[in-house]
Amino acid sequence: MSERLARLEPVASAPLDLRGVTVTLAQPMRRYSLRARDRALLEAALSLPLPAQIGETRGPAACLGPDEWLLRLPDHQPLAIPDGQRLGITEISERAVCLVVEGPRAAAVLMAGCPLDLDRFANGRATRTVFETVEIVLLRTGESRFEVEVWRSFAPWLKSALEAAAE
Protein backbone atom coordinates (compact mmCIF):
# COMPACT_ATOMS: atom_id res chain seq x y z
CA MET A 1 0.00 0.00 0.00
CA SER A 2 1.43 3.36 -0.92
CA GLU A 3 1.08 6.37 1.31
CA ARG A 4 0.94 9.96 0.22
CA LEU A 5 4.05 11.91 1.13
CA ALA A 6 3.50 15.21 2.90
CA ARG A 7 5.79 18.16 2.26
CA LEU A 8 7.51 19.28 5.43
CA GLU A 9 8.75 22.85 5.28
CA PRO A 10 12.14 23.48 6.86
CA VAL A 11 10.95 26.65 8.64
CA ALA A 12 7.70 27.63 10.30
CA SER A 13 5.18 29.34 8.07
CA ALA A 14 4.22 31.87 10.75
CA PRO A 15 5.65 35.35 10.01
CA LEU A 16 8.60 36.49 12.07
CA ASP A 17 8.31 40.19 13.00
CA LEU A 18 11.73 41.72 13.61
CA ARG A 19 11.24 45.39 14.52
CA GLY A 20 10.05 46.70 11.18
CA VAL A 21 11.10 43.72 9.10
CA THR A 22 8.91 40.68 8.51
CA VAL A 23 10.28 37.33 7.34
CA THR A 24 7.65 34.98 5.96
CA LEU A 25 7.81 31.62 4.22
CA ALA A 26 6.31 32.09 0.74
CA GLN A 27 3.60 29.80 -0.53
CA PRO A 28 4.88 26.58 -2.13
CA MET A 29 5.65 27.05 -5.81
CA ARG A 30 6.94 25.14 -8.80
CA ARG A 31 10.43 26.11 -9.85
CA TYR A 32 12.15 25.34 -13.12
CA SER A 33 15.71 25.85 -14.23
CA LEU A 34 15.61 26.80 -17.90
CA ARG A 35 18.70 26.59 -20.12
CA ALA A 36 18.88 27.41 -23.81
CA ARG A 37 21.31 29.16 -26.12
CA ASP A 38 18.38 30.46 -28.14
CA ARG A 39 15.98 32.43 -25.94
CA ALA A 40 13.45 32.79 -28.78
CA LEU A 41 13.30 29.00 -29.22
CA LEU A 42 12.70 28.55 -25.48
CA GLU A 43 10.00 31.26 -25.48
CA ALA A 44 8.25 29.62 -28.42
CA ALA A 45 8.44 26.14 -26.89
CA LEU A 46 6.96 27.34 -23.59
CA SER A 47 4.65 30.05 -25.00
CA LEU A 48 6.14 32.32 -22.38
CA PRO A 49 8.05 35.61 -22.74
CA LEU A 50 11.45 35.57 -21.00
CA PRO A 51 13.62 38.49 -19.90
CA ALA A 52 16.49 39.21 -22.29
CA GLN A 53 19.07 40.76 -19.95
CA ILE A 54 20.83 39.16 -16.99
CA GLY A 55 19.22 40.42 -13.80
CA GLU A 56 15.86 41.26 -15.39
CA THR A 57 12.57 39.69 -14.42
CA ARG A 58 9.54 39.34 -16.63
CA GLY A 59 6.41 37.89 -15.13
CA PRO A 60 7.35 34.68 -13.32
CA ALA A 61 10.81 34.41 -14.96
CA ALA A 62 14.18 35.81 -13.91
CA CYS A 63 17.28 35.82 -16.12
CA LEU A 64 20.24 34.58 -14.04
CA GLY A 65 22.84 34.11 -16.77
CA PRO A 66 23.41 34.45 -20.52
CA ASP A 67 21.50 31.21 -21.16
CA GLU A 68 19.81 30.58 -17.80
CA TRP A 69 16.44 31.50 -16.34
CA LEU A 70 14.60 30.70 -13.13
CA LEU A 71 10.88 30.20 -13.66
CA ARG A 72 8.61 30.27 -10.60
CA LEU A 73 4.94 29.32 -10.98
CA PRO A 74 2.10 28.78 -8.49
CA ASP A 75 2.21 25.28 -7.01
CA HIS A 76 -1.00 24.27 -8.78
CA GLN A 77 0.30 25.35 -12.24
CA PRO A 78 2.60 22.72 -13.76
CA LEU A 79 4.63 23.54 -16.84
CA ALA A 80 4.02 21.65 -20.08
CA ILE A 81 7.53 20.59 -21.08
CA PRO A 82 7.91 20.08 -24.84
CA ASP A 83 9.60 16.96 -26.21
CA GLY A 84 12.20 16.85 -28.93
CA GLN A 85 13.68 20.32 -28.37
CA ARG A 86 17.31 21.10 -27.59
CA LEU A 87 16.38 22.82 -24.36
CA GLY A 88 17.30 22.26 -20.74
CA ILE A 89 14.15 22.36 -18.63
CA THR A 90 14.52 20.87 -15.17
CA GLU A 91 11.97 21.01 -12.38
CA ILE A 92 13.72 22.07 -9.18
CA SER A 93 10.64 22.71 -7.05
CA GLU A 94 11.77 20.75 -4.01
CA ARG A 95 15.31 22.11 -3.97
CA ALA A 96 14.54 25.52 -2.50
CA VAL A 97 12.09 27.56 -0.49
CA CYS A 98 11.43 31.27 -0.66
CA LEU A 99 11.64 33.60 2.31
CA VAL A 100 9.91 36.96 1.84
CA VAL A 101 11.74 39.78 3.63
CA GLU A 102 9.78 43.00 3.76
CA GLY A 103 9.53 46.24 5.65
CA PRO A 104 11.32 49.58 5.84
CA ARG A 105 14.57 47.95 7.03
CA ALA A 106 14.48 44.95 4.66
CA ALA A 107 17.39 46.13 2.48
CA ALA A 108 19.55 46.98 5.51
CA VAL A 109 18.90 43.59 7.13
CA LEU A 110 19.79 41.75 3.91
CA MET A 111 22.92 43.88 3.39
CA ALA A 112 24.19 42.69 6.78
CA GLY A 113 25.11 39.41 5.06
CA CYS A 114 24.90 40.17 1.33
CA PRO A 115 27.71 41.99 -0.53
CA LEU A 116 25.33 43.92 -2.81
CA ASP A 117 24.25 47.54 -2.32
CA LEU A 118 20.53 46.83 -2.22
CA ASP A 119 19.70 50.53 -2.01
CA ARG A 120 20.77 50.61 -5.68
CA PHE A 121 19.16 47.26 -6.58
CA ALA A 122 16.10 48.25 -8.61
CA ASN A 123 12.62 46.87 -8.18
CA GLY A 124 12.13 43.99 -10.63
CA ARG A 125 15.78 42.87 -10.50
CA ALA A 126 17.05 39.38 -9.68
CA THR A 127 20.49 37.93 -9.13
CA ARG A 128 22.33 34.96 -7.77
CA THR A 129 24.43 36.06 -4.80
CA VAL A 130 25.33 35.00 -1.25
CA PHE A 131 24.14 35.76 2.24
CA GLU A 132 27.27 35.32 4.33
CA THR A 133 28.51 32.10 2.68
CA VAL A 134 25.20 30.61 1.53
CA GLU A 135 24.14 30.88 -2.12
CA ILE A 136 20.78 32.58 -2.64
CA VAL A 137 18.76 33.99 -5.51
CA LEU A 138 17.56 37.44 -4.55
CA LEU A 139 14.60 39.13 -6.22
CA ARG A 140 13.40 42.64 -5.44
CA THR A 141 9.63 42.56 -5.83
CA GLY A 142 8.75 45.90 -4.25
CA GLU A 143 10.27 49.04 -2.80
CA SER A 144 10.71 47.36 0.58
CA ARG A 145 10.08 43.72 -0.40
CA PHE A 146 12.59 41.04 -1.34
CA GLU A 147 12.16 37.35 -2.10
CA VAL A 148 15.09 35.14 -1.15
CA GLU A 149 15.32 31.72 -2.79
CA VAL A 150 17.49 29.46 -0.63
CA TRP A 151 18.18 25.77 -0.69
CA ARG A 152 15.85 23.95 1.66
CA SER A 153 18.65 22.66 3.91
CA PHE A 154 19.93 26.22 4.53
CA ALA A 155 16.52 27.82 5.19
CA PRO A 156 16.51 27.42 9.01
CA TRP A 157 20.00 28.90 9.24
CA LEU A 158 19.11 31.80 6.91
CA LYS A 159 15.97 32.62 8.87
CA SER A 160 17.94 32.76 12.14
CA ALA A 161 20.75 34.77 10.46
CA LEU A 162 18.17 37.31 9.25
CA GLU A 163 16.75 37.48 12.76
CA ALA A 164 20.23 38.17 14.18
CA ALA A 165 20.88 40.83 11.52
CA ALA A 166 17.60 42.58 12.33
CA GLU A 167 18.60 42.92 15.96
User: pTM of the entire structure?
Assistant: 0.90
Per CATH, which fold does 29-91 belong to? Answer: Alpha-Beta Plaits (3.30.70)
Q: Which CATH class is domain 16-28+94-166?
A: alpha beta
Which amino acid would we find at residue 46?
Answer: L
Distance CA 158, CA 167 (A): 14
pLDDT (tens digit per residue) in 78-96: 787 777 677 888 899 999 9
Rounded to a whole number of angstroms, the CA Rg of the chain reads 17
Task: Say if residues 120 and 114 touch (Cβ distance below 8 Å).
Answer: no
29-80, pLDDT tens digit by residue?
A: 999 999 998 899 889 888 899 999 999 999 999 999 999 999 999 988 878 7
- Do residues 55 and 42 touch, judged by C-beta distance below 8 A? no
DSSP 76-139: T----PPSS-S-EEEE-TTTEEEEEEESTTHHHHHHTT-SS-GGGS-TTBEEEEEETTEEEEEE
Hey, where are the domains in the chain?
Answer: 16-28+94-166, 29-91
- The distance of Cα 62 from the centroid of its chain, to the nearest Å, equals 9
